[in-house]
Structure 1
Amino acid sequence: MTIPESIKKFITWIQGFDHRVLRNEDDVKEKLILPMFHYLCYPEICHREYSLKTYQSATYTKNAEIAQIYFATDDLKKQNTNTSLIFVEAIEPQKTKLNEAIEQAKFYSNHFKTLFFIVTNGYEIKVFQRLHYNREKLVFDLNIDTLKNNDVASKFYNKLNFDLVKNIDKNTASILTYTKYNLIEKLIIRHPDLQDFLEKYDFKPSITREGYDLVVVKPKVAIACNLPKAFREGNCQIEFSSILFKGLKINLNHQDILGQLMTGLHTQPNWGCRRFLKQIDKNNFTVNLGQITVILSKLEATDLCLCVDEICQEYQNLIIEFENALETWDFEFVKFSEVRGFILFSVSQELWELMQQFAKEFDYTKGKSEWHLFHREDISIRVSRGIRDHAFILPQFDRNLSLLASKKANIIYELNDVNLQSLKTAKFSLWQQNIGVRGTWTTRYTKQWLLDKYIPKVINYYSEKSQLSEAELLAKITNCRSERALIKEIDNITDLVPYLHDIQSWLHIYVENIVVSLLKPYYRAYTNLVRNTDSSITGIDYIFGNLRRVEWKNTQEENYSNSTDWKNLTFKYAIDCLDWQVTRIKNSEYENSFNADIITRIFIWIIENGKISFSQAQLNAAKQALIPLWEQSRFEVRYIYPNR
């Protein structure tokens, strides 16, 4: 049998390749990967490099690496996950253990949705085929010497050459797996005796909890979760009773739980509110859990959702409970080096140095006055009397500047392990008893103590020694967050606007349908609040323009404007349209986030630009409806969307 010329060229090249010339990762790329894919007939323009730091996760946080991606098209605009073919990761020749690199390549290959991923150190080559609904398949595990064999080289070429790979239908594996699964499902339904047999393998439903370990079991699904404690990350493991998934255990980390499972709690699988679920047909769903995708029946998906609801509701409750206890919601969370904490405010470098000097001078081991309550640890300040730690304070300087060159320092309330030890060891229901003035200080109390007592004391103490005046030092204190009226205390309608902006920003990035239990009272209360607005309000075109967008979305008719004469309409008609939106969602279970986003924009515009007559009852109802929706948006923006 005649060997094609293209394979001959590949064999000639690989047999002439000497892996001993490789010295580093760049050599592996330049001298092996790029020539190999040239001889596999991949056009150079179909190759692109990506910095993996853009796609880092909590699991893989090493230094940035460069990945080689090969695409099916030479059109740069079309080089995306739909056209990606092969992901290649080169590692240093000296590294002989490839397991860690394989796991990393698997992770990024799933992001890029390539058909294959390859890991090589220049001598060993491992090629995996990425399957949608099964684990990846190892198709080649060889070294350069083995690849020089004519038969092996031919098989390698015939499996990975450009013409063959670019014509693989990415959906083929999905369709075949789904078809196979669907046939099994129908077989089970048609044979009750087989169904009875399989049900013997169902789990026994239960919910058990010991401290921060929660296990939720439904007939088809079981989830064991380590709940988060004191801002520490949790995780969970998911198992299925179906014989189709025998032995499959899906492990999700903290970011997976927040980024995939947390949205759409207490909704039906077919409502489209959950990020990890996608309905295939009436009875089947694709489910994305971490880096694994499976197909579940409606019953299995329902049990999975019920388990997720129990786990995630408690997961969320604990996070919220801890934030509430430490009063951290109004402060930006930061994480750098080994530090986790919240930015309280900023001060000048000179003032921070005086604060440190005072803490050193008034160490609790050096005296018994009311101000001897500090202990220096590196550059941080430990507020303590030696028995009870109150707070840990440290600076955050600009990363691009040296300590001496920095002009400003963010004052960080640190979540220190020493300070949190009592919270981690306390009984589950009693840990909050340590929060308070005589125990662990909250962020709010710490900030006020620093601003009202400590800093004035420091400035006064060093006033004669410092080259800067008291006024100059105080002028350089910068609050990192503008104060706003608490929702319950609002009596000026315009004070609602910052909260509405928060909700609108959340809805704008919310890609799933949203359950309407929170939206019903919100739509109704704010429509009533702005009902009596002066008809001379500016921007009536803006209001009706947004109302048209909602109508188009709901009717799926882009020519909707032809059926309504939008010109010369009054503000009263705008209220009628908002009333219709209130009526529309009364009997709905979920709402498209686009609609909620646009309607919120309308409420904001009217409040900012209109002269509104409203009663106390209308304002109270608006505040009451705002609180749960805003709290949900606050949680998701802080915890869920940074994990996407």
Structure 2
Amino acid sequence: MYIPNSLPLFIKWIQAFDIRILQTEEDVEKKFILPMFQYLGYPDLCRQSKYTLTSNNLENPAKQLKNAQIYFATDDVEQQNADTSLVIIIYLSPKTNYFQEAIAQAKFYSNYLKPLFLIITNGYSMKIFQCFQYHREELIFDSIIDTLRNSQTAETIYNHLNFNLIRNINKTTLTNFKHPQFSSIEKYLRRHTEFGNILEKAEFEPRLIKEYHHLVVIQPKVLIKCNLPQAFGKGNCLIQFSSVILRGLKITLNHQQILDQLMTGLHTKPEWNCRHFLKQINVDTFEADLGQTTLILSELEAADLCLCVDTICQEYKKRIIDFEDYLETWDFKFVEFPDIRGFHLFSVDVKLWKMIHNFIKKFNYTQGKSEWHLFDQVNISIRISRGIRDHAFIVPRLGNCYSALSNNQVDILYEINDIHIATLERSNLNSWQEDIGIRGTWTAKYTKNWLIEKCIPKVISYYSQEFQVLEFDLDKNILNYHSQHTTLKEMNEVKDLLPYLRDIQIWLQRYIENFAASSWQQYYQVFTDLVRNADSAIAGLDYITMNLQKILWANPSAEISREEIWHFKDAIYCLDTQVSQIKNCKYISSWEADLITRVFIWIIENGKINHSQGQLNVAKQALLPIWEECRFEMRHVYPYR
């Protein structure tokens, strides 16, 4: 039975309820608990009378939840868990007046099920506790059932417990303090000396502790403990606060959440709106989204949180970049599946792969001592090794799984082998980086070149008679080999800048926060100086004008109006104006940087630019830090968004 949401029906039922019908525990369950929650609007399918916790979650398996009803926000049994639990009710015999054991059981199970309310009743009296995620539960009702005959009291309980209300409560948001209270309580306390001294003593002592892969950063208001990623592994962090409001709150972020939420806008002030996790509500109040928790922070708390995040993420980011730099993986697409992580080196057609696979099986390193007895296949991974010394691990990926072919080609992946990295960490080396080289761990770039330039030609030569394959067919059988980017070091033509600029444009189109203006000042200045030497008769002036006018429309300038951009020199004057303005800005919007980059791309692509080698070199230097930031975020941050 399901009774629609109706306060009058609930009040009428509770006022007419006769407690004399309750003689046993079963009566309390079926004649009191079940009807009450039906009148509170709970569907029967949202109820469980038994709920088993996994043994590894149970600190004391001897404790069992008896005589209980548990209500969830969903009627889907598979989704009835700690995220959707609403109320735990423990019912006792009407003859029982001792509630302490039942209360202890309810609190014990609430640690795992995390309900919003706990109820203990024997049908004659009832205790209702409201639970908070990071604070002690609060007793909101402790009286006999007859008390609910009062319409106002019954309405209060109804408003606390009715299904339509509490199923929409966000458990991960700290809702026990409304915003005006939350933002002013600590300020009020600090204005009173007796409280201020207590608060100051409770603040953390600023420290920086770094031990191996562990980093602890402490500011007066915030403490972050971080397990940094080892090699290309995954880290995590724990965030705590010292304030009287947030004391005891612990927020854990996994690797994905660190990259997605914390990594952008480093070393910027909270009020600049450059950070993905932080939003300013008013002059001195901020809203922070950390993991699955949303909370309100004071100005001081937001500032200390940003300082801690900057230190943690700078080191976290450095670990990831160092791994890619040392193993030369940046030029390859990162791929991740349930059983492997690695980088796509190149692809070969199926015929060539069959020959390679046969060669690998024939030249297992345990079956001979020639220079080509290097291989060992374990499951899907192929180990390239000199016995004790592992060089690299490669994985053939056949289509969308490992047993079916797709597009008649096989992808060759450079595998990140965690066991290999862990073995190096336990060795006498100071770090896994010391083992990188021709005689040790091969980089992705070296592995690819070795396979294409040495191994595959050897395979073709070995099987040339049997399979009638000639060496000049090699290029036809290897796919996705050439990089589209000329390296900045080798770049000699201004148009070689275009692939890098297009990467930045794609990044900017996805970026939703602001940027610190200081990091873009040189880029604006240098590329404006570069494109000002373009042929003034450049085609597509209307496209340039359209993009610049969008900026002027949003940021009117006294020096130039959007109607004045009729000639190429006007466009350059407009770019010069943006260069002057950015020098006086603390931050800029991503959409503005996108429009400016579009203009640079169009002029370089369609214009004839007279430039010196020195100008090109300066442009490469100005482009490099922005492009490296773009490359890192597109690789490691945006896949999680």
Query: Which TM-score band (shorter chain)?
Result: 0.7 to 0.9
* Structure 2 letter corresponding to 1:461: Y
Aligned residues: 537
Displacement after TM superposition at 1:516 (Å):
1.9
User: Is the contact made by 1:134 and 1:294 (CA closer than 8 Å) also made in structure 2?
Assistant: no
* Equivalent residue for 1:620, pick from 612, 617, 621: 617
- The superposition leaves residues 139-169 of structure 1 with CA deviations (integer Å, 9 ceiling, x where unpaired) of 9xxxxxxxxxx99x9978995466x789999
Identify the residue that residue 178 of structure 1 maps to in structure 2.
179
Alpha-carbon spacing, 1:8–1:393, altered in 2? closer, same or farther (3 Å): farther
- Within the candidate set 599, 602, 609, 1:602 is matched to 599
Query: Partners of 2:264 and 2:169 in 1: how far apart?
Result: 34
User: 2:593 corresponds to which letter in structure 1?
Assistant: A
Contact 2:344 / 2:413 at 8 angstroms: preserved in 1? Answer: yes
Gaps in structure 1 of 5+ consecutive residues: 10-35, 42-85, 107-124, 140-149
Q: Does 1:541 align with 2:538?
A: no
1:291 Cα deviation from its structure 2 partner: 0.8
Assess if the C-alpha contact under 8 Å between 2:511 and 2:590 holds in 1.
yes
Post-superposition shift, 1:263? 0.7
Measured at CA, do residues 225 and 379 of structure 1 come closer, stay the same or move farther in structure 2, by a change above 3 Å? closer
Structure 2 equivalent of residue 201 of structure 1: 202
For residues 113-132 of structure 1, what are the structure 2 equivalents within 5 Å?
A: 128=116
Distance 1:257 1:179 in 2: 30
* Deviation at residue 288 of structure 1 after TM alignment: 1.2
Q: Are the aligned partners of 1:229 and 1:424 in contact in 2 as well (CA < 8 Å)?
A: no
Cα deviation code 1:271-306 (max 9, x no counterpart): 111111111222121111111122111111111111
Percent identity, aligned pairs only? 50
SS in 2 for 1:464: helix
2:238 alignment partner in structure 1: 237
Provide the C-alpha distance between the structure 2 equivalents of 1:561 and 1:174, rounded to a whole number of angstroms: 50
Higher deviation after alignment, 520-529 or 351-360: 351-360
- Once the two structures are TM-superposed, the CA of residue 470 in structure 1 deviates from its matched residue by 4.3
Report the equivalent of 1:592. 589
Q: CA distance change for structure 1 residues 300 and 165 in 2, over 3 Å: closer, same or farther?
A: closer
Contact 1:132–1:173 under 8 Å retained in 2:
no
Q: Which whole-Å deviations, capped at 9, do the CAs of 1:560-590 have from their partners, x for residues lacking one?
A: 99954346x2111111110111110102221
Alignment of 1:185-584 (within 5 A): 185-399=186-400, 402-403=403-404, 407-425=408-426, 430-466=431-467, 468-472=469-473, 474-479=475-480, 482-555=483-556, 564-566=562-564, 569-584=566-581
How many angstroms apart in 2 are the aligned matches of 1:220 and 1:127? 29
Q: Decide whether the 8 Å contact of 2:502 with 2:601 is kept in 1.
A: yes
Deviation at 1:243, TM superposition (A): 2.1
Give the Cα–Cα distance (whole angstroms) in 1 for the partners of residues 221 and 163 of structure 2.
42
Q: CA deviation at 1:469?
A: 4.8
Q: CA deviation at 1:173?
A: 8.1
DSSP 3-state at the match of 2:210: strand
Matched residues in 2 for 1:253 and 1:505: separation?
A: 27
Q: Give the residue type in structure 2 aligned to 1:565.
A: E
Larger radius of gyration: 2
Q: Distance in 2 between matches of 1:251 and 1:167?
A: 24
Measure, in 1, the Cα distance between the counterparts of 2:563 and 2:480: 50
Give how far 1:617 is off.
Answer: 2.1
Say whether 1:91 aligns with 2:81: no
Relative to structure 1, is the Cα distance of residues 206 and 475 closer, same or farther in structure 2, using a 3 angstrom cutoff? Answer: same
**Is the alpha carbon distance of 1:167 and 1:311 closer, same or farther for their aligned partners in structure 2, counting shifts above 3 Å?**
closer
TM (norm. structure 1) is: 0.75
1:522 CA displacement: 0.4
Measure how far apart 1:525 and its partner are.
0.6
Contact 2:503–2:627 (8 Å) recurs in 1? yes
Could you give the per-residue CA deviations for residues 52-100 of structure 1, whole angstroms, max 9, x where no partner exists?
Answer: xxxxxxxxxxxxxxxxxxxxxxxxxxxxxxxxxx9636125xx9xx6xx
Matches of 1:254 and 1:499 in 2, distance apart?
Answer: 28
Task: Please give the alpha-carbon distance, in whole angstroms, between the structure 2 residues aligned to 1:464 and 1:128.
Answer: 75
CA root-mean-square deviation: 3.9
Aligned to 2:33: none
Contact 2:216/2:224 (8 A) holds in 1? yes
Matched residue SS, 1:376:
strand
For residue 341 of structure 1, give the secondary structure of its aligned residue in structure 2.
Answer: strand
Judge conservation of contact 1:535–1:571 (CA < 8 Å) in 2.
yes
Amino acid at match of 1:586: K
Match of 2:25 in 1: none
Secondary structure of 1:244's aligned partner: coil
The amino acid across from 1:445 in the alignment is: Y
Q: Assess, with a 3 A threshold, how the Cα gap between structure 1 residues 409 and 619 changes in structure 2: closer, same or farther.
A: same
- Matched-pair contact (CA < 8 Å) for 2:116–2:131: no
Letter in 2 for 1:611: K
Counterpart of 1:243 in 2: which secondary structure?
A: coil
CA contact (8 A) 2:350 2:409 kept: yes
After superposition, the Cα gap between the structure-2 partners of 1:190 and 1:322, relative to the gap in structure 1 and judged at 3 Å, is: same
Note if contact 1:544-1:566 (Cα within 8 Å) is conserved in structure 2: no
**Which residue identity is paired with 2:513?**
E
AA of the residue aligned to 1:310: T
Structure 1 residue 126: deviation in Å? 9.1
Q: SS state of the match for residue 256, structure 1?
A: helix
Letter in 2 for 1:342: F
Find the aligned partners of 1:4 and 1:104 in 2 and give their Cα distance. 27
Distance 1:332 1:4, change over 3 A: same
Letter in 1 for 2:409: K
- Report if aligned partners of 1:221, 1:303 keep a CA contact under 8 Å in 2: yes
Distance 1:298 1:206 in 2: 21
* 1:214–1:225 contact (8 Å) kept in structure 2: yes
Give the Cα separation in 1 of the matches to 2:546 and 2:376: 61
* CA gap 1:244/1:526 in 2 versus in 1, 3 angstroms: same
CA contact (8 A) 2:40 2:161 kept: no
Residue pair 1:390, 1:419 contacting (<8 A) in 2 also:
no
Q: Structure 1 residues 410 and 373 mapped into 2: Cα distance closer, same or farther (>3 Å)?
A: same
- SS of aligned partner of 1:245: coil
**1:340 partner amino acid:** R
Q: Give the superposition deviation at 1:325.
A: 0.1
The CA distance in 1 between the partners of 2:203 and 2:114, in whole Å, is: 38
After superposition, the C-alpha distances for 1:201-240 in whole angstroms (9 at most, x for unaligned) are 1111111111011111111111110000111100011111
Q: Determine whether 1:634 maps to 2:631.
A: yes
Which residue identity does 1:630 align to in structure 2? W
Cα distance in structure 1, aligned partners of 2:407 and 2:363: 26
Given residue 589 of structure 1, which amino acid in structure 2 is its aligned partner? K
For residues 111-150 of structure 1, what are the structure 2 equivalents within 5 Å? 128=116
In structure 1, the partner of 2:82 is 102
Contact 2:461 2:471 in 1 (8 A): yes
SS at match of 1:368: coil
Given that 1:413 and 1:443 are in contact with CA atoms closer than 8 Å, whether structure 2 keeps it comes out as: yes
* Shift of residue 628, structure 1, vs aligned partner: 0.5
Tell me, in whole angstroms, the C-alpha distance in 1 between the residues paired with 2:268 and 2:207.
Answer: 21
Partners of 2:629 and 2:608 in 1: CA distance = 30
Deviation at 1:626, TM superposition (A): 0.5
- Deviations along 1:233-271, one digit per CA (max 9) or x if unpaired, are 000111111122221111111011111111111111111
**Which whole-Å CA distance do the structure 2 matches of 1:137 and 1:470 have between them?**
74
In the alignment, the residues of structure 2 paired with residue 292 and residue 251 of structure 1 have an alpha-carbon distance, to the nearest angstrom, of 10
Partners in 2 of 1:128 and 1:276 — Cα distance? Answer: 26
In the alignment, is the contact (CA less than 8 A) between 1:356 and 1:381 conserved in 2? no
Q: Quick one: distance in 2 between partners of 1:126 and 1:421?
A: 37
